[in-house]
């Protein structure tokens, strides 16, 4: 069997979809090494993979997490992590490096080692219909102009990266879109915008959803139909006022409203209607399996999980790629979208009422559910990586 190294940026939206793939590769007999931060060590260890912790502890997320600060953070992380990552990988001698499409140090490490590499896209594959947040654009330049400190830091890190390593294959700017000869995209062709524009190096495998440990403290038995679920994810802090608006808007329409508050303390929401259950963390797949509606920020993992369950969505994008994901949900008829600044109690209740009352939304979500499930998921992702390994090994032997 082969040795496979996984490298990724330490964010839930990037790491979580890889866990079922890693577990499956380990089950098939491969030796898998994952470089990560301590926040993800326990989850990765549960897959059977070997964990290598990033040196220096967990790096904070860019603040604010906008495209140009992400560029600065990614290049600085690459410069800081590569010495330890390369030292370890030279000992491990992997047959394949699998890295997130937003993980430039993974691509550089593979180039330095001279081994094949595959990229994982945990959001859409990017093109003009699904533009990468870090593509060259006037918006990106404007962001750099108002953050000169980050611009200088980014240019300094780029210079160090190219001076010390074989980094010529990296995009100059578009570091959320680092492509390889195999690019595994964790959504279906049906949900990917302009899927026909991508060549055969892109494999649309659908959502990578594996079994998660159940939370025995979450009262699934208390949920009464219709279940309406709201979550704005883990990266952007949900303001208590917005979460209270969700509770007030949805409670009259629901048997039970479930609100995942994330970084916000549920106590700050104050008294809530009797049929509203607010928790910091929620077993999302289990709740979605019972839900009639999902109010979401539009993170790709959450949207993939909702479509896998066939649940219509009200998307309230907070940033990053979420506006593009929201637009796609609306285009395909599986939901509606509203801006955060417009998400007051009245508009949210009106849109939720439409989503619950008009059968076309549920029909569109159920059609996408079929496409997401038929794409293959983590099993197909593991198949694609194994085929690529076999082909790459045969090519090297010739």
Q: How high is the mean pLDDT in each 10-residue block of the chain (398 residues)?
A: 94 92 97 95 95 80 73 92 96 97 96 97 90 85 85 92 92 92 97 95 94 79 95 77 95 96 91 94 93 95 95 91 92 97 96 98 98 97 96 59
Report the distance separating Cα 141 and Cα 361, nearest Å. Answer: 38
Q: What is the pLDDT of residue 262?
A: 87
pLDDT confidence of residue 279: 93
Same domain, 235 and 200: no
d(CA 314, CA 137): 29
State the pLDDT at residue 393.
67
8 A C-beta contact, residue 10 and residue 58: yes
**Residue for token pair 């704005």:** 232
What six digits make up the tokens of 316? 């309230």
**Would you say residue 154 lies in a domain?**
yes
Residue 213 located in a structural domain:
no
Sorted by sequence, the CB contacts under 8 Å of residue 365 that are 6+ apart come out as 306, 307, 310, 311, 312, 313, 334, 335
Q: What is the distance between the alpha carbons of residues 217 and 339, in angstroms, rounded to a whole number?
A: 33
Q: How big is the chain, counted in residues?
A: 398
Angle subtended by helix axes 67-92 and 138-145, to nearest 10: 90
**Domain co-membership, 153 together with 259:** no
pLDDT at res. 190: 96
Looking at the structure, do residues 170 and 40 belong to the same domain, yes or no? yes
Which pLDDT score, from 0 to 100, does residue 237 have? 64
Residues 317 and 362 in one domain: yes
Q: Are residues 131 and 21 in the same domain?
A: yes
In a domain, 183, yes or no: yes
Question: How many C-beta atoms surround the C-beta of residue 361 within 10 A?
Answer: 22
Q: What is the pLDDT of residue 370?
A: 97
Is position 341 within any domain?
yes
Bridge-partner residues for 230, per DSSP?
Answer: 259, 295
Tell me the residue range of the domain where 270 lies: 220-374
Q: How far apart are alpha carbons 33 and 35 in whole angstroms?
A: 7
Phi-psi region of 373 (alpha: psi -120 to 50; beta: other; left: phi over 0): alpha
Whether residue 249 sits in one domain with residue 303? yes
Helix orientation angle between 104-113 and 67-92, rounded to the nearest 10 degrees: 30
- Per the domain annotation, does 211 fall within a domain? no
User: Are residues 369 and 384 located together in one domain of the fold?
Assistant: no
- Is residue 182 located within the same domain as residue 229? no
Alpha carbon distance 339, 330 (integer Å): 13
Determine the Cα–Cα distance for residues 15 and 19; give it in Å rounded to an integer.
7
Q: What is the CATH number of the domain that holds 241?
A: 3.40.50.2000
Residue 212 included in any domain: no
Distance between CA atoms of 144 and 152, rounded to whole angstroms? 9
Q: Can you give the pLDDT at residue 185?
A: 97
- The answer to whether 178 and 362 have CB atoms below 8 angstroms apart is no
* Residues 143, 238 within the same domain: no
In order of 123, 152, 254, the CA distances from 158 in angstroms are 25, 10, 52
Count of structural domains, the chain: 2
Residues 112 and 131 in one domain: yes
Query: Which run of H or E residues covers position 178?
Result: none
Structure tokens at 210: 């594996």
| Residue 18 located in a structural domain | yes
**One domain, residues 268 and 383:** no
pLDDT of residue 398: 40
Q: Is residue 200 part of a domain?
A: yes
Same domain, 329 and 231: yes
What does the DSSP assignment read for 188-203?
-TTTSTTGGGS-TTEE
């Amino acid at each position: 069997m082969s040795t496979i190294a996984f490298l990724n940026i330490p964010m839930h939206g990037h790491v979580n979809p890889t866990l079922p793939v890693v577990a499956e590769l380990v089950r098939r007999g491969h030796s898998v090494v994952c470089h990560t931060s301590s926040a993800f060590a326990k989850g990765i260890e549960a897959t059977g993979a070997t964990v290598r912790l990033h040196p220096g502890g967990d790096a904070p997320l860019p603040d604010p997490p906008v495209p140009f600060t992400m560029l600065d953070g990614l290049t600085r992380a690459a410069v800081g992590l590569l010495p330890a990552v390369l030292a370890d990988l030279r000992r491990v001698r992997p047959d394949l490096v699998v890295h997130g499409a937003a993980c430039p140090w993974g691509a550089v490490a593979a180039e330095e080692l001279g081994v094949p590499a595959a990229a994982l896209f945990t959001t859409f594959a990017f093109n003009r219909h699904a533009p990468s947040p870090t593509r060259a654009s006037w918006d990106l330049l404007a962001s750099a102009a108002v953050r000169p400190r980050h611009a200088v830091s980014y240019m300094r890190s780029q210079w160090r990266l190219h001076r010390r390593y074989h980094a010529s294959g990296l995009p100059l700017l578009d570091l959320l879109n680092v492509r390889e000869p195999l690019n595994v995209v964790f959504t279906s062709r049906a949900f990917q915008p302009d899927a026909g524009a991508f060549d055969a190096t892109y494999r649309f495998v659908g959502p990578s959803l594996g079994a998660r440990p159940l939370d025995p403290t979450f009262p699934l038995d208390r949920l009464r139909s219709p279940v309406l679920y709201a979550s704005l994810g883990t990266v952007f802090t949900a303001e208590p006022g917005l979460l209270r608006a969700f509770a007030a808007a949805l409670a009259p329409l629901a048997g039970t409203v479930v609100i995942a508050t994330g970084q916000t303390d549920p106590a700050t929401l104050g008294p809530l209607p009797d049929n509203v259950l607010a928790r910091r963390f929620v077993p999302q797949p289990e709740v979605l399996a019972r839900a009639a509606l999902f109010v979401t920020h539009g993170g790709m993992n959450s949207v993939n999980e909702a479509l896998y369950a066939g649940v219509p969505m009200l998307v309230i994008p907070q940033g990053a790629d979420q506006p593009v994901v929201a637009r796609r949900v609306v285009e395909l008829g599986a939901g509606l979208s509203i801006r955060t600044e417009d998400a007051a109690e009245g508009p949210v209740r009106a849109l939720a009422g439409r989503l619950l009352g008009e059968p076309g939304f549920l029909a569109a979500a159920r059609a996408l559910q079929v496409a997401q499930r038929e794409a293959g998921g983590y099993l197909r992702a593991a198949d694609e990586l194994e085929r690529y390994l076999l082909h790459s090994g045969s090519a090297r032997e010739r």
